[in-house]
A and B are shown apart, each in its own frame.
Chain A
């Protein structure tokens, strides 16, 4: 599975959009981009995933560049409850090793 690079930490003001970047320059054609988050002392939570098209659900939007070498997770109106570690994971559809990198600690400030 391709390696990902994320900034270790980011801050965002409450009510503003949080844009979390992820670099995955070695991604291959059959690998998806997944995002999970982990709120302090809880288990990780699935957010969204995509292959090459942009995706949106009730939690977030995922923007994948045309060359698929990077992506951005967008939380459109961040709240204090969105403070968490966000993990970007690249994995094959048949892959069974959901492997977490260091992630980005997002802090939403009032």
Chain B
């Protein structure tokens, strides 16, 4: 199984809502990542988890809160988002933090209204 599964595929939320994005992999990878991608732009790194611990936070606003409950799961909790946070959110995993052959999910298309 070489898949990274993200749910939901699409999400529409209001600015006062709380929602969560989920990511799952069963490849035994110990590094997991969240990226944000705006239309016609490259993916931008948000967070890196290594061995279930947050190792990199690219100065992401606190309205985005990552969580890694176990080695297979990665969540991104969303609260009080702004319309400009609308984007494709991509999850990825790799064997460890130093391995750059990453596997990406298909993303969650988030719209904030």
Contact = CB atoms under 8 A, between A and B. Distances in A.
Interface string B48-60: 1010000110000
Given A32-B100, A95-B100, A96-B31, A43 B45 contact: no
Nearest to B103: A46
A69 to B, nearest CB: 20
A93 B101 CA distance: 10
Given A43-B106, A94-B98, A96-B48, 16 more contacts: A43-B4, A43-B90, A44-B43, A44-B90, A44-B92, A44-B104, A85-B42, A93-B100, A96-B55, A96-B97, A96-B98, A97-B45, A98-B92, A100-B43, A100-B44, A101-B42
Interface in B24-73: 31, 33, 42-45, 48, 50, 55-56
Interface of B: 4, 31, 33, 42-45, 48, 50, 55-56, 90, 92, 97-98, 100-107
Contacts of A98: 33, 45, 92, 100, 102
B100 A91 contact: yes
A94 B31 CA distance: 12
Contacts of B48: 96-97
A31 B41 CA distance: 24
Nearest to A94: B98
A15 B77 CA distance: 45
